[in-house]
Amino acid sequence: QKEVEQDPGPLSVPEGAIVSLNCTYSNSAFQYFMWYRQYSRKGPELLMYTYSSGNKEDGRFTAQVDKSSKYISLFIRDSQPSDSATYLCAMRRTGANNLFFGTGTRLTVIP
């Protein structure tokens, strides 16, 4: 079993839709949770960074962490064609330096 599971999609939505992206994990030691956006043939770009459980909002993006369920989510409101990319969840244990990534979900927002 992988430490981080993520539905690879692909996911297609119309412009303006609310998008929900999710990851589950098995290691309860993960304390730091990130979402990265990766455009085709580019490096991952950090979108959201959260510590432990709770919500964090930044513009159209909201990250949620539910440690009791080992489940994290990223919501994108009013999705735009420019949001079309692969979204990677990543997480890290306290005191460790390496990130564990999901496989990524490919999102397409249709104009």
Partner 1 sequence: DAGVTQSPTHLIKTRGQQVTLRCSPKSGHDTVSWYQQALGQGPQFIFQYYEEEERQRGNFPDRFSGHQFPNYSSELNVNALLLGDSALYLCASSFDRGSRETQYFGPGTRLLVL
Query: Which of 46, 52, 66, 71 forms a contact with partner 1 (CB under 8 A)?
Result: 46
Q: CB nearer to partner 1: give 18 or 46.
A: 46
Binding residue count for partner 1, defined by CB under 8 A: 27
As measured in angstroms, the least distance from the Cβ of 81 to partner 1 is 22
By the rule CB under 8 A, 61 interacts with partner 1: no
Using CA atoms, how far apart are residues 96 and 110, in angstroms rounded to an integer?
39
By the rule CB under 8 A, 104 interacts with partner 1: yes
By the rule CB under 8 A, 8 interacts with partner 1: yes
- Which region among 10-18, 26-34, 52-60, 69-77 touches partner 1 (by CB under 8 A)? 26-34
Using CA atoms, how far apart are residues 27 and 10, in angstroms rounded to an integer?
26
By the rule CB under 8 A, 55 interacts with partner 1: no
Residue type at position 75: F
8 Å CB contact between 40 and 25 = no
Q: What percentage of the chain's residues is helix, strand, coil (to nearest 5)? A: 5, 60, 40
Residue 104, beta-bridge partner list:
none
Location of structure tokens 């927002």: 109
Which stretches of the chain bind partner 1, using CB under 8 A?
A: 4, 6, 8, 31-32, 34, 36, 41-46, 49, 88, 90, 94-104
